[in-house]
Amino acid sequence: MSLARRHRELHRAAQAGAASVAPRAADAPAPMPTTGAVASEYALLLAALGQDLQSLRQIQSVERKIAAKAGMIGRYRAWVEGSMRSDPPVQDDIVGTMLVWAIDVGDWPLALQLGAHILTANLGLPERYKRSPAVVLAEEVADSALRVASGVPREVLERTLALTADYDMPDQVRAKLHKALGLAFQAEADAFDPEAESQRAGGKRALVDAALDHVGRALELDQSAGVKKIIERLTAELKKLPAAND
């Protein structure tokens, strides 16, 4: 993408809210303009997105779909960066789609930035996702972490949990997020090096405690969360560790 095109897309996306003339509720995003330069730019990108989605439907392999999205996502980055600057915020299906793509390709800074924007601005996602933004964010991040060991940094899981804490969702979805966090703390405990200067305060015991807290919460939320064996192992390990004041 040329610098001129990037600048144009970013600038027009940032103008979308101000260019919208349709009435809106106080806590609702502005609708995307239907006429003018912003609307024309948005329509062009929506058309490109439609073609990319059609291409993705032709790919059966999940791994190849993710690789394809990694090559496609860059063409929409300038627009979503601009859209997040819009005042007032504007309902934008490209932004909603890129939230999911960013999670899929492991672009965690973009995923968290988009997630926070969508939730704060009360945006909806494209109808094809069939779930609320908070559920999509929590479940897709958790699924990514549970699917690929060490695939999602613990800090991303913690930020996702904090972002979605006040939103209603199925208990099973929140349980997945707690399970993923528990496994992340467990992995850190397994790799604990007492000689490393950057280790967590409280040492290995603090990591095991944190892991137990999260998998225990997962079990409270969903008896079928698949964490009972994990709890047994962590409980046994905790008994072998010195007490916190030793």
At 196 the pLDDT is 63
Consecutive 10-residue averages of pLDDT for the chain (246 residues)? 84 89 76 93 96 97 96 96 94 96 96 97 93 97 87 95 97 98 94 68 86 98 96 93 67
What gap in Å lies between CA 13 and CA 11, rounded to an integer? 6
* Cβ neighbours for 54, distance < 8 A, ≥ 6 positions apart: none
At 244 the pLDDT is 64
What is the DSSP annotation of 81-94?
A: HHHTT-SS-B--HH
At 4 the pLDDT is 84
At 145 the pLDDT is 95
pTM for this structure? 0.91
**What distances in angstroms separate CA 140 from CA 105, 144, 223, 240, one per listed residue?**
11, 6, 21, 35
What gap in Å lies between CA 209 and CA 202, rounded to an integer? 10
